[in-house]
Structure 1
């Protein structure tokens, strides 16, 4: 059913981000009418604005600064914040997590945000994963470990080890080796045995806490990580932390409570595992426990059943109760549903809002894991924890880095951004203020903040647009869940953690480069309402559930194509078994590619509307490409510029994309472009006559363009520098379209093959790092990403035109002139809770306009 965009938008704006869930879903799921699609693109709904993760350190916050930062968020184009409380950054002034002072600060933040029309989410705990001082050893995440005790010949008993809090003996075995050891029932302190002339071993399976502590915890938030499979543990956290936090929301509940990725490492057990295993799997696990630790012929099957039991318990005892608890509080549960302990892709259906992460769009991805589940189960919004580790080292990231990663996230299905993030920073911290140890900085201490509204408008525009209609994906990749769980090891049980070894970069490339989009699907999701794909790929699957294979056979009989890569599952009949290297060629024989003419650097997303087709196409590489693109939905239409929201006729001609450029292609009734006006190309270099002013200093004549750090006196300057001159234009110049101000293309940088986690734009840009352009005193727009130009046509007049280009760099130049932060006193008081990343030996980065701008006509 189509909905009127303007009516819905007005209603949603008035509700200031606290609409009913049904209304919110109705907006996101509705297919925009063709008349409103372009309007929504140019002026997107507030609900699509990016959020920011707001870190409170300590917590140690000041009321006035909280209010100031919230207002700054709004001015920068953010739609709200997710409040997260982390480790202290000051020796004094911290208050305990969940103390009265902390709760009052949360209350103020919520009330202020509501007044400003901003959304508020809150992390349901300090640091991650959930836990804290309320989690005793008996409630902590646990594992089983194997203890081996020698049993000398003719011994009749053996003493058992003393137990620590949270420990208990699960089972004991005696034998010459693990393969032949027999199960015995231990007494409290010792095991009675029959004497033999041979030496033997007592194998003791011991349940014990993993010992993992909450990571990056605030003062008062320290303690064990909870057991996600223990109802008492989950309930203790909800009552102690969740209920207490909700007392701060007297003005209205948060939009959502948040759980970060499951990182309870080492977890592989819970207290009633034996009885739950028996009930679910139909046999007694105890006699088979040693097969968990040492390989046996049926170890893989035991480990598969073990891991599946854990995954079911996480669903029933963590995801469902927390989601239900959130509803009772009038809020929603936003969850990163992957990691340790294991969860299934289909587990995502159990949470109100689902979030992923991961910038590499051509490997197995947790973000695509989330977006696939959302597509399969009809959840229209996929949020992304965005820009974690961006251009590693706080304050290193520039706007083009943000754009380059944002596009890779959208190629994986993201349509809501949670910026990682905004560090609270008091005035006494100086400039550029505090930073989170492993994140980019998105607050107003960064000089390039001047273009933050422009960046956020791009993200908002794209997020809104990519929620319209329905996703189009011809191919589904079956996740080999049984194989992943069968490969589990003690202390390492994760489905998604294994899949990167089974869904290779080559497999992913074969699908993408053939011109197809894809989703992942697991056993349970094969019956989900959104499983409407044409081709199902089985990637090197060895083991598959018989019931699942029946579903796959039914899919094939109904007209779907099934391809097994490299091998067919054991005992299964699959008609198409091909080498991985032949997958692209096979796919194009089964169905028509959605897009032809791509390169490995260029990806796309296809959304199907009632009367239109929309394609998002992005160049993720650092070099320009010219592509003979052909779209399944049409041979001609229009392309929309997502930076300035202009629409252009496209007649099927080759498409040139600058480094990190993205475009939208629209076919059908939504076309809004007018006829193209072609003019002879003209260029007018603006080499001379410029002046330059640093901050509020008087302007001086500019000798040459290039990095201002070349002047040793300006090497550590972070801030705004204004370049200005007068340009005289004739009526003929304006009629010819000599109105585009171009700054150059930039130079590709070498991409290291051993680069670490994180992403960045590998381009030496001609504008370092962002610029606002003013014409005759009025802001004409911003230049912050490739292609580095701006059309000044609406602002230019015949005669003299005063051009001002206000360029801002990063804060690294200031930091490089300061001694490294000394955290020794902090560590002495609180222990080492974090390690700054890439903050040693900082050097000033190039800053300013690298070359003279040019006035030119648009091609």
Structure 2
């Protein structure tokens, strides 16, 4: 059982107080945190103090992210990668290591990659096209040079001429060095398209001092080498001791070209792009344009993978580090880009709706963006398919308005991340703050403020210990997902609109939501199936053995490969699918592809596709399912994928019928189920699991408690008795054989009459500001914002609600539950002087039977509220706390933040506080 020592999850060694029924805890199992260094104005004393504070709160590691500075601290700024900066990095790594914490390093400042070493030849590039028109006998009077402003460094690429009779000529060799065109048409009218490799001139966003400069050309290996050479020099070719180098989401705008794009396009697609430039840049819409742009986008994807992601990862390995990468937003195949790094990372942006009673979600304090779990699964799927154990997530970005996020709101959001296959959470985030900085300290503009200045900081170990317990399970063994589902990226690429196609979190309504792939994923998961995504490239390395699909030497096997409706599919992919079936795999086709991607050698490839499809001969198996045996395996054709799965013998997990979400892990012969109740209803009864167990343990990630569950077997399934309030999670561990001396899980079978905690309540404010309100005596708990004292309305911090009461004897009771009722926003409980734990999330209930006694008892409830009321006070009084450069502090709509007109956030304990006896 995890011990709560004075409410803190103490983190001094790998085991960190976890009992033998839980996996042994490693530092990666704790939540990590993004740590912004504002203008690198750091010093050793405050670094050490910060790391110790984070460590005691349950943080397992930090990711250093240098950004812009703080006004008034300019003399403390340290230039990025300078010898002094490297000393601070070295000190951080050493200090963190002594605390058994890890350190990751953003491989730049702000985002995206770029800086002073990126001179124009290596900067992000874009295609510039200028058109001219000539008639018979005319000479072009103007020179073919770039007209666009600030593009003096643009280099000429080629010149394509189109006649009114359909002729196409390449005239690049007719253009002299000064831009003079030495050619005139002999007949007809000609349109000339001159193409240049220009620059986007995008600068690094939110850069720190010493990191300013142009964004990198991510499609150029030479540009990457140039970029990384600055780190080579700063590191003196010695490993800096960080665990991982990090790359944030791809946000390079308008970068759609590179100097060697033409040659690579010709090599990979098999034809010359130059004659098609008019169609490439045209705003018309045609099938031919869609095919051309598909080839263009595939080439971009390959360049990003081979010229940036793979060599960057190799560079990190040279320094004994690994890579973490956010591929989303890239104009490439996200699965391939994620899989090419050591830790694929997704992100949550905005907040999700959960029908959990009393879970606050004020529409005025949230962005109109819901994180989509399917989007999160691109990162976890790539990790699983490639055999990487960790998949991370930048978590809680813009979860709510500044200073209004509760720990309870964080819980359901991070649980959705876990259910998506993520097992390595990074908080977004905290900002390095020196000890002499006034409250609220230094802050980043788009984060939940996981800062020691936050009112909830002393209760944060409730959240961090919960995450640690969950991640200790989700990092153990291997993922247990039975379905591998193909992502038809060519259907997305085959779009005549635009040029490059960034696959961003913010435009999934365009490229993801309308697709049969997405609809299948959502329906299958709701039905109770576990799955991962696979790309064409990742499928190339797959094999089949013993009827299973294997995607890597270290990855978990899959029972079936599902191909959702895909209009376009490469011949090589279809051949691979058939080969897997021949070798013993079960393959489900929702439909047959009808075409091949792109333009190059299209007729021959189309004929090959048709020949492959003609080789299929299905027989009717009933219920809309057709079957063809293929070697050792089989191909199943059905528009109803779930019906096909049933035919294939895959049974869904029926616990989703209760509205429960789950994810599984396999550890040898043991199987873990992480189960979450995000519904509005209590679940109290048996739930079925698709495993035959000899023993079943219940592990409570909220408290660390564990015990042997009541269960029964039926054929190859197990029914387990569970009790879950809305907002609660459980971990079920199914073992093949009976266990030794494991105590029974204590169920709460029958609630007896509740006992209201009555007495004289004493409220005492202990910590916070702007000033401590006067204490009060109450007949029953009240939110302190209801007090007539104006100081209470502005107060952010902690207050203790204490009461002495008479506890009657309840002979029939085997356990007692403390129910706090309404809490704004978290609480730590002492019963008769015993630390009973932290209540930081809905339903704010806690087992306290072992602490109670008949007769006189005392309860002390320390309540922490949000930072919002104190921020409101500062803005009303005109106190200058927003002193950050660049974007400074903005609200959730990216407008200057002004809290003076905010409503007072309810704060304190409203109750009613009850003790509910239960019998066995």
2: CA distance, partners of 1:540 / 1:113: 50
> Is structure 2 residue 600 aligned with structure 1 residue 610?
no
> Is structure 2 residue 500 aligned with structure 1 residue 433?
no
Name the SS of the counterpart of 2:794 in structure 1.
coil
Offset of residue 785 of structure 1:
1.2
Given that 1:178 and 1:290 are in contact with CA atoms closer than 8 Å, whether structure 2 keeps it comes out as no
Offset of residue 107 of structure 1:
2.9
Offset of residue 325 of structure 1:
1.8
1: CA distance, partners of 2:762 / 2:236: 57
**Alignment equivalent of 2:530, drawn from 509, 512, 517:** 517
**Cα deviation digits, residues 666-710 of structure 1 (max 9, x gap):** 222486451657775322111432211122667431144343222
**Alignment equivalent of 1:790, drawn from 825, 842, 846:** 846
Offset of residue 364 of structure 1:
6.5
Name the SS of the counterpart of 2:203 in structure 1.
coil
Partner of 1:351: 341
**Alignment equivalent of 1:257, drawn from 245, 250, 265:** 245
1:191-590 alignment runs, 5 A limit: 191-195=181-185, 200-241=190-231, 243-244=233-234, 246=235, 253-294=241-282, 295=285, 297-358=287-348, 363=372, 365-391=374-400, 393-487=401-495, 490-494=498-502, 498-502=511-515, 506-526=519-539, 527=542, 528-529=551-552, 530=555, 532-558=557-583, 560-565=585-590, 568-570=593-595, 571=610, 573=613, 582-590=640-648
Partner of 1:686: 757
**Cα deviation digits, residues 547-600 of structure 1 (max 9, x gap):** 110111223344544444476443464866999994444433433334104259
Given that 1:144 and 1:490 are in contact with CA atoms closer than 8 Å, whether structure 2 keeps it comes out as no
**Alignment equivalent of 1:184, drawn from 171, 193, 200:** 171
Partner of 1:754: none
2: CA distance, partners of 1:487 / 1:853: 59
Partner of 2:804: 726
Partner of 1:650: 710
Given that 1:40 and 1:465 are in contact with CA atoms closer than 8 Å, whether structure 2 keeps it comes out as no
Partner of 2:33: 52
Offset of residue 199 of structure 1:
5.0
**Cα deviation digits, residues 458-478 of structure 1 (max 9, x gap):** 111111111222212122221
2: CA distance, partners of 1:678 / 1:835: 47
Partner of 2:864: 808
> Is structure 2 residue 171 aligned with structure 1 residue 171?
no
**Cα deviation digits, residues 382-440 of structure 1 (max 9, x gap):** 1211111222x222211111211111111111111111111122345422222211110
Given that 2:106 and 2:246 are in contact with CA atoms closer than 8 Å, whether structure 1 keeps it comes out as yes
Offset of residue 505 of structure 1:
5.2
Given that 2:374 and 2:518 are in contact with CA atoms closer than 8 Å, whether structure 1 keeps it comes out as no
Partner of 2:814: 737
When residues 103 and 690 of structure 1 are mapped into structure 2, their CA distance, relative to the original with a 3 A threshold, is same
When residues 645 and 509 of structure 1 are mapped into structure 2, their CA distance, relative to the original with a 3 A threshold, is same
Partner of 1:748: none
Gaps of 5+ in 1: 1-12, 18-26, 28-35, 745-765
Instruction: Give the structure-2-normalised TM-score.
Output: 0.80
When residues 858 and 784 of structure 1 are mapped into structure 2, their CA distance, relative to the original with a 3 A threshold, is farther
Partner of 2:131: 148
> Is structure 2 residue 164 aligned with structure 1 residue 97?
no
When residues 199 and 653 of structure 1 are mapped into structure 2, their CA distance, relative to the original with a 3 A threshold, is same
**Alignment equivalent of 1:772, drawn from 821, 828, 842:** 828
Name the SS of the counterpart of 1:842 in structure 2.
coil
Gaps of 5+ in 2: 1-9, 353-369, 543-550, 596-609, 619-624, 627-635, 712-718
Partner of 1:660: 727
User: Which stretch of the first structure deviates more once superposed, 109-118 or 554-563?
Assistant: 554-563
**Cα deviation digits, residues 511-548 of structure 1 (max 9, x gap):** 11221011000112221234733333333311111111
Name the SS of the counterpart of 2:71 in structure 1.
coil
- Aligned CA-pair RMSD: 3.4
1: CA distance, partners of 2:671 / 2:382: 22
When residues 334 and 42 of structure 1 are mapped into structure 2, their CA distance, relative to the original with a 3 A threshold, is closer
Offset of residue 365 of structure 1:
3.6
Given that 1:386 and 1:406 are in contact with CA atoms closer than 8 Å, whether structure 2 keeps it comes out as yes
Name the SS of the counterpart of 2:327 in structure 1.
coil
1: CA distance, partners of 2:187 / 2:266: 37
2: CA distance, partners of 1:610 / 1:825: 53
Given that 2:90 and 2:241 are in contact with CA atoms closer than 8 Å, whether structure 1 keeps it comes out as no
Name the SS of the counterpart of 1:555 in structure 2.
helix
Name the SS of the counterpart of 1:66 in structure 2.
helix
User: Which stretch of the first structure deviates more once superposed, 146-155 or 124-133?
Assistant: 146-155
Given that 1:16 and 1:119 are in contact with CA atoms closer than 8 Å, whether structure 2 keeps it comes out as no
When residues 116 and 541 of structure 1 are mapped into structure 2, their CA distance, relative to the original with a 3 A threshold, is same
Name the SS of the counterpart of 2:34 in structure 1.
strand
1:819-858 alignment runs, 5 A limit: 819=875, 832=887, 835-837=890-892, 839-840=897-898, 841-858=901-918
Given that 2:220 and 2:307 are in contact with CA atoms closer than 8 Å, whether structure 1 keeps it comes out as yes
When residues 798 and 710 of structure 1 are mapped into structure 2, their CA distance, relative to the original with a 3 A threshold, is closer
1:117-132 alignment runs, 5 A limit: 117-132=100-115
Name the SS of the counterpart of 2:397 in structure 1.
coil
Given that 2:168 and 2:275 are in contact with CA atoms closer than 8 Å, whether structure 1 keeps it comes out as no
When residues 584 and 14 of structure 1 are mapped into structure 2, their CA distance, relative to the original with a 3 A threshold, is closer
> Is structure 2 residue 687 aligned with structure 1 residue 629?
yes
2: CA distance, partners of 1:675 / 1:403: 24
Given that 2:242 and 2:321 are in contact with CA atoms closer than 8 Å, whether structure 1 keeps it comes out as yes
2: CA distance, partners of 1:825 / 1:448: 21
> Would you say how many aligned residue pairs link Structure 1 and Structure 2?
803
Name the SS of the counterpart of 1:218 in structure 2.
coil
**Cα deviation digits, residues 620-644 of structure 1 (max 9, x gap):** 3455456763211148834321111
Given that 2:794 and 2:870 are in contact with CA atoms closer than 8 Å, whether structure 1 keeps it comes out as yes
2: CA distance, partners of 1:634 / 1:85: 51
**Alignment equivalent of 1:68, drawn from 49, 67, 82:** 49
User: Which stretch of the first structure deviates more once superposed, 771-780 or 458-467?
Assistant: 771-780
When residues 675 and 622 of structure 1 are mapped into structure 2, their CA distance, relative to the original with a 3 A threshold, is closer
When residues 444 and 677 of structure 1 are mapped into structure 2, their CA distance, relative to the original with a 3 A threshold, is closer
**Cα deviation digits, residues 809-836 of structure 1 (max 9, x gap):** 1111111122189999979xx6657744
Partner of 2:604: none
1: CA distance, partners of 2:882 / 2:841: 41
1: CA distance, partners of 2:797 / 2:321: 41
Name the SS of the counterpart of 1:65 in structure 2.
helix
Given that 1:477 and 1:519 are in contact with CA atoms closer than 8 Å, whether structure 2 keeps it comes out as yes
Name the SS of the counterpart of 1:701 in structure 2.
strand
Name the SS of the counterpart of 1:357 in structure 2.
strand
**Cα deviation digits, residues 753-783 of structure 1 (max 9, x gap):** xxxxxxxxxxxxx211111101233321010
1: CA distance, partners of 2:109 / 2:26: 32
1: CA distance, partners of 2:383 / 2:666: 16
**Cα deviation digits, residues 118-141 of structure 1 (max 9, x gap):** 211111100111001211121011
When residues 183 and 626 of structure 1 are mapped into structure 2, their CA distance, relative to the original with a 3 A threshold, is farther
2: CA distance, partners of 1:795 / 1:247: 59
Offset of residue 76 of structure 1:
0.4
